[in-house]
Amino acid sequence: MNNRADMKNDPLRVGVVGVGHLGQYHVEKYTKIPGVELVGVADTNLERAREIAERFGTRPFGSHRELLGRVDALSLAVPTETHFDVARDILSNRIHLLIEKPITYCIEDADSLLDLALRNGVKLQVGLVERFNPAVVKMESLLSRPVFMESHRMNEFTTRGIDVDVVLDLMIHDLDIFLHLIPSSVREVHAVGMSVITDKTDIANARMIFEDGTVTNLTVSRISHKTLRKIRVFQPDAYFSVDCARRELSIIRLCGEANALDQGLEFTSRKLTFPGTDPLADEISSFVHAVRNGSDPVVSGRDGRNALAIALEIIHQIERGCNNFSTIC
């Protein structure tokens, strides 16, 4: 294990590999964490690396390999198709890694990375940022017996993120949240989806039934006319609605107990808002904390692997069955 990363009084040397749209925000967040030294940024587009390095006062590199002997921890925000090869280099050099979602394209590669991190004694965290959304975190603290959960995650179309289909691009956030919140294994998965603009799935719906009876329904689209990020959870005494984009939590609770409908049910309602919060900053701070203190990441490599496994099952069902408009009309 990298001994410098164990020394809490030394600056933690970090870098970012891949400084496109998302990677640049990783760079920004690291610069605001006390006790962290941003050693450099790497990108195969060296001009982009130079631009970001100049903006944040660090050094540019044209390859992740140039950072390997200089840092204790790295963020990886490159296209998914290169995740495995780059992450393998990083973990093999005993460098802690925060890898953006999805962890890889396939389970075998994800398992290889988990094994590599374990053998080398380094932390592997997956960038499923909605787990750090304060409205989601607060809802988790209030749950007791969820029986039904649903999510709607819609994006306006952009060319960013279309290297993967909508399940790996958007739905995987809600898959991770539901797998984390429900203390049971998945018994059944049913999915439909279709391509509309790209050659991959752009709209998808999936239902998961868990061994404890909990049912979840997830809908995603990246060709919506507006952005929507909603999670709704029902349990016998309460209903929770999370607006992830606005970071708001609405709570409706049943007052007392009602054994018959004619008793007249009474409810209380309140809304919690979390202004000024920054889930990405919290995610990166959490990664730094895990590295410094030797604690488990909030969203571990295992979590990322488990979400990927269900995402791939959904993708395979779509590929085998309903994958265009004509098949469901």
| Per-residue pLDDT at 267 exceeds 90 | no
Q: Are residues 168 and 97 in the same domain?
A: no
Residue 44 lies in a domain: yes
The reported pLDDT for the residue numbered 80 is 93
Q: Are residues 231 and 166 in the same domain?
A: yes
The CATH number assigned to the domain holding 19 equals 3.40.50.720
Count of positions (residues) in the chain: 329
Q: Of the given ranges (6-10, 61-65, 109-113, 153-157), which has the lowest mean pLDDT? A: 6-10
Residue 299 lies in a domain: no
Q: Are residues 35 and 103 in the same domain?
A: yes
How is residue 222 written in tokens? 């990246």
Cα separation values, 61 from 2, 41, 87, 217, Å: 22, 6, 17, 44
Which alpha helices (H) appear in the chain, and where do they start and end? 23-30, 46-56, 83-92, 107-120, 134-142, 166, 172-181, 279-293, 301-320
Q: Are residues 186 and 81 in the same domain?
A: no
Residue 291 lies in a domain: no
Question: How many Å apart are CA 247 and CA 129, to the nearest integer?
Answer: 13
Q: Are residues 136 and 161 in the same domain?
A: yes
Residue 296 lies in a domain: no
What's the half-sphere exposure (Cβ side, CA atoms, 13 Å) at 271? 7
Q: Containing domain of residue 13, as a range?
A: 3-122
The CATH number assigned to the domain holding 189 equals 3.30.360.10
Q: Are residues 185 and 44 in the same domain?
A: no
Q: Are residues 170 and 317 in the same domain?
A: yes
The reported pLDDT for the residue numbered 215 is 98
Question: Which of 96, 122, 148 is the endpoint of a domain?
Answer: 122
Residue 221 lies in a domain: yes
Question: Which of 122, 149, 175 is the endpoint of a domain?
Answer: 122
Residue 32 lies in a domain: yes
Q: Of the given ranges (85-89, 132-136, 218-222, 265-269), which has the lowest mean pLDDT? A: 265-269
Q: Are residues 113 and 140 in the same domain?
A: no
User: Which of the four pLDDT bands, split at 50, 70 and 90, describes residue 40?
Assistant: very high
User: Which of the four pLDDT bands, split at 50, 70 and 90, describes residue 156?
Assistant: confident
Q: Are residues 139 and 253 in the same domain?
A: yes
Q: Are residues 63 and 172 in the same domain?
A: no
- Its pTM surpasses 0.75: yes
Residue 301 lies in a domain: no
Q: Are residues 179 and 318 in the same domain?
A: yes
Q: Are residues 322 and 187 in the same domain?
A: yes
| Per-residue pLDDT at 327 exceeds 50 | no
Residue 154 lies in a domain: yes
Count of domains in the chain?
A: 2
